[in-house]
Structure 1
Amino acid sequence: MDILLGILAVGVILGIAFLMSNDRKNINFKGIGIMIGAQLLITFFMFNTEIGQTIISGISWGFNKLIEFGTQGVNFVLGGVEVGENGVFFFNVLLIIIFFATILSVLTYLKVLPFIIKYLGWGLSKITGLPKVESFNAVNSIFFGQSEALLAIKSQFHNLNDNRLYIVSASAMGSVSASIVGAYLNMLPDQYILVALPLNMFSALIVASIISPVKVSKEEDHVDIQDVSNAKSFFEAMGNGALDGGKIALIVASMLIAFIASLELVNAIFGAVFNGFTLQELLGYIIAPIGLLMGIPTAEVLDAGAIMGTKIVTNEFVAMLEFQSMLDGVSDKTAGIVTVFLTSFANFSSIGIIAGTVQGIDSEKGGRVSGFGLKLLVGATLGSMLSATIAGLFL
């Protein structure tokens, strides 16, 4: 029964995307089918085979060792600061971002990441039939933040019509940066975070390719990758990465303060007007029907829907912090589905980040992104739901 509901959920999600499509005749159904097949194979392999479990454990071990190394740096600077029993989120989670950003910067300078991203993108383009720019950007978005991923293809923006612009923006919104994956791993189960990374890459492309199909000529289908690191030495790359990581940590901390405080304010108003009813509870009721189809048990669907809705109106960190306290009281299936859903940048604030980045590259195209910003958020949210549903089929 759960499998049938999951298949129905996939159909509903893709059906909504189809209704939103601006060019249904040119939808690349073959490529979409290939990507859904790839998602099913990846999830089955990672969740249901010993080799897959070993790979997840190995990657998780590697990330956790990096977190330990990063913690040593944090403790050196802040070791004398007295904290409470549960520590301080900024110290224990956010400052780890600095170390991960440094590693990414160094790997970019050494041409390791550009090599991996280039050929993974080339392979994705070959098997799906998607243009190279869109495929490269989708892979690049797994490793870098929304702004950095878009800046890497800035030399191609003159070739991007509105549909292609929608797809690259959706990939940026539907992914997460590897520099903050370590922070996520400090809050939610490792295996679901790691599986979400490839699933969300495919889901963003699937939904965006239905909503805004593209066809390009061979002359337009090429990638001229821009190196956004600009580092001239190994140590400059380390310094740039550390500074970028520090900025990210402060930005996330600032957004958490603003969003959590605002959420408390909204809930106080809701409570006064609706006798204790909160915004999260309202969102839970709205998302509950699709949550049931995704495979979340009936007894848990309202609470899970509230967390998913919180992520959309605030950001993934706020939702993850709330969900972290609920993990002991929910089933493994709910934990997996909700964690995969939360592991993306699909929220209202991302519209401004992406539009602002594109505005800096091309002012005219920045205005277009702002114009389809809400459609972009809906598409990215559908992508997160698709990933979570696929994961739920194997839990």
Structure 2
Amino acid sequence: MDILFGLLAIVLVLGIAFLMSNDRKNINYVGIGVMLVFQLATTAFFFNTTIGKTIITAISAGFNKLIEFGKGGVGFVLGNVATKTMEDGSPASVFFFDVLLIIIFFATILSVLTYLRILPLIIKYIGAFISWITGLPKVESFNAVNSMFFGQSEALLAIKSQFHHLSSNRLYIVSASAMGSVSASIVGAYLGMLPEQYVLVAIPLNMFSALILGSMIAPVKVKKEDDRVDIKDVSGAKSFFEAMGNGALDGGKIALIVAAMLIAFIASLNLVNAIIQSVFAGVTLQMILGYILAPIAFLMGIPGDELVQAGSLMGTKIVTNEFVAMLELQSLINDSALSEKTVGVVSVFLTSFANFSSIGIIAGTVQGIDPQKGATVSKFGLKLLIGATLGSILSATIAGLFL
């Protein structure tokens, strides 16, 4: 029965995207079918085969080793401040030290790999392969893969030399990929809060979901001369050590930005809840969102007694950001309050940038590259969020089919 409801959810998501489409005659159904097959095959491989689970474990071990190295750097700078203990002698968890500051080390690694042209080449040829098997333009495919490694702003900046070729529909697809993705620099932070297998599988799932929904809502046909990818100037660093410095500074900015946003969003959430509770005792915004999104959670395969909790986490992510929702989910996981299937489905849903604040980030980035196209992104900002959220639902539903 869960499988039938899951398939119904997939059909519903694709149906909504079809109704939202601004050019239904040119939808690339073959490419969409190929990407859905890839999603199903990828999820089945990593969740249900011994080899797939071994690969996930190995990748996770690699990330955990990098996190360990990062904590070494944090510990050296902050000393006992970062290693405080509880009254019973157990280590205390300080989110800023244990999670956010690790971003600095991951951003440094990404910057160095970019400077050495290792990462750009990998991204370019994976993007070319996706373009070949799906028939999608190279720029959109490259951007989708690029968005798996870099943040929203960085991914869009990497294709700025192609921006004058981008029509409104193409601009929608690259923006959807940026919003539906996550940055590899903060994957380490996610792994500090959620089970690694769901976070790591969510990354390729969300890449394909963004392309599927984007190419349905805004189909494109591109001339060959307007479809090329240039990776010559992806790194502004002039030396290896400058790349390290740039990465460290960028990582520090990201950590501080996330910390500032968490302070603002969590404080604002508490304020909103206090206002709601002054009128309706015991009611919170999360509870309201939980009931609103419970039907969607039901179709995604969430057990009946956990629908409101799952819907609450999903809604919290949309109106605030993924970190706020992940912190709430982490608390529920630690208390064993949710089933493994709910944890998996919700974790995949949360592993993306699809929230209201991302509209401003993407529009601002595009505005800096091309003011005219920035105005275009602002106009379809809400449609962009709906498409990216549908992508998160699609990814989470597919994950749920194999849990």
Q: Same fold (TM over 0.5)?
A: yes
Deviation at 1:226, TM superposition (A): 5.5
1:30 shift after superposition: 0.4
Aligned to 2:129: 123
Aligned partners of 1:154 and 1:226 also within 8 Å: no
Which of 154, 174, 184 aligns to 1:148? It is 154
Q: Please show how residues 161-180 of structure 1 align to structure 2 within 5 Å.
A: 161-180=167-186
State the Cα distance separating 1:84 from its structure 2 match. Answer: 5.3
Residues in 2 aligned to 1:314 and 1:394: alpha-carbon distance in whole angstroms: 29
Match of 1:229 in 2: 235
User: In structure 2, what is the equivalent of residue 304 of structure 1?
Assistant: 310
Equivalent residue, structure 1, for 2:7: 7
Alignment match, 1:317: 323
Where does residue 31 of structure 2 map in the other structure? Answer: 31
Contact 1:155 1:226 in 2 (8 A): no
> 1:1-395 alignment to 2 at 5 Å?
1-81=1-81, 83=84, 85=86, 86-225=92-231, 227-327=233-333, 328-395=336-403
Conserved 8 A contact 1:6-1:293: yes
Letter in 1 for 2:32: I
Task: After superposition, give the CA deviation of every residue in 1:242-272 in whole Å (9 maximum; x if it has no partner).
Answer: 0000000000000000000000000111111
Equivalent residue letter for 2:164:
H
Q: What is the CA distance between 1:29 and its match in structure 2?
A: 0.4
SS of aligned partner of 2:219: coil
Would the aligned equivalents of 1:149 and 1:172 in 2 still touch at CA under 8 Å?
yes
Q: 1: distance between equivalents of 2:126 and 2:271?
A: 45
Which residue does the alignment assign to 2:89? none
| Offset at residue 275 of structure 1 (A) | 2.1
C-alpha separation between the residues in 1 aligned to 2:359 and 2:98? 28
Opposite residue 341 of structure 2, the aligned amino acid is: K
Secondary structure of 1:79 counterpart: helix
Q: Which consecutive aligned stretches of 4+ in structure 1 deviate over 4 angstroms post-superposition? A: none
Query: Counterparts of 2:264 and 2:171 in 1: how far apart (Å)?
Result: 30
The answer to whether the Cα contact below 8 Å between 1:142 and 1:178 also exists between their aligned partners in 2 is yes
Please state how far the C-alpha of 1:311 moved relative to its aligned partner: 0.2
Any idea what SS the aligned residue of 1:354 has? helix
The unaligned stretches of length 5 or more in structure 1 are: none
- TM-score with structure 1 length normalisation? 0.99
User: 1:381/1:226 Cα in 2 relative to 1: closer, same or farther (>3 Å)?
Assistant: farther
Instruction: Describe the SS at the equivalent of 1:325.
Output: helix
Identity %: 76
Code of the aligned partner of 1:368: T
1: CA distance between counterparts of 2:130 and 2:229?
A: 13
Distance 2:232 2:293 in 1: 40
The SS at the match of 2:299 is helix
Distance, in Å, in 1 between the alignment partners of 2:353 and 2:233 is 23
Deviations 1:302-321 (A, max 9, x none): 00100000000000000000
Distance in 2, Cα, partners of 1:224 & 1:186 = 35
Amino acid at match of 2:263: I
Amino acid at match of 1:356: G
Contact 2:354 / 2:385 at 8 angstroms: preserved in 1?
yes
Tell me, yes or no, if the aligned pair for 1:336 and 1:391 is still in contact at 8 Å. Answer: yes
Deviations 1:193-229 (Å, cap 9, x if unpaired)? Answer: 0000000000001011111111111121212235342
Deviations 1:350-379, CA, capped at 9 Å, x for gaps: 000000000000000001101100000000
Letter aligned with residue 10 of structure 1:
I
Alpha-carbon distance between aligned partners in 1 of 2:232 and 2:257, rounded to the nearest angstrom: 25
Amino acid at match of 1:23: D
Partner amino acid, structure 1, of 2:233 = D
Is the Cα contact below 8 Å between 1:151 and 1:226 reproduced in 2?
A: no
State the number of aligned residues: 395
Give unpaired runs (5+ residues) of structure 2: 87-91
**Matches of 1:78 and 1:177 in 2, distance apart?**
26
| SS of equivalent to 1:329 | coil
C-alpha offsets along residues 141-190 of structure 1, whole Å, 9 cap, x if unaligned?
A: 00000000000000111111110000000000000000000000000000
Letter of the 2:140 counterpart? E
Deviations 1:290-343, CA, capped at 9 Å, x for gaps: 110000000001001000000000000000000101111111100000000000
RMSD: 0.9
Whether the 8 Å CA contact 1:199–1:387 is kept in 2: the answer is yes
CA gap 1:134/1:367 in 2 versus in 1, 3 angstroms: same
Whether the aligned pair in 2 keeps the contact of 1:292 and 1:298 (CA below 8 Å) is: yes
Indicate conservation of the 8 Å contact 1:104/1:241, yes or no. Answer: yes
- Separation in structure 2 between the aligned mates of residue 226 and residue 322 of structure 1, nearest angstrom: 42
- Work out the CA distance in 2 between the residues paired with 1:96 and 1:108: 19
Confirm or deny: 8 A CA contact 1:153 1:226 kept in the other structure: no
The 10-residue stretch of structure 1 (215-224 or 56-65) with the greater mean CA deviation from structure 2: 215-224
Structure 2 CA distance, aligned partners of 1:89 and 1:279? 24
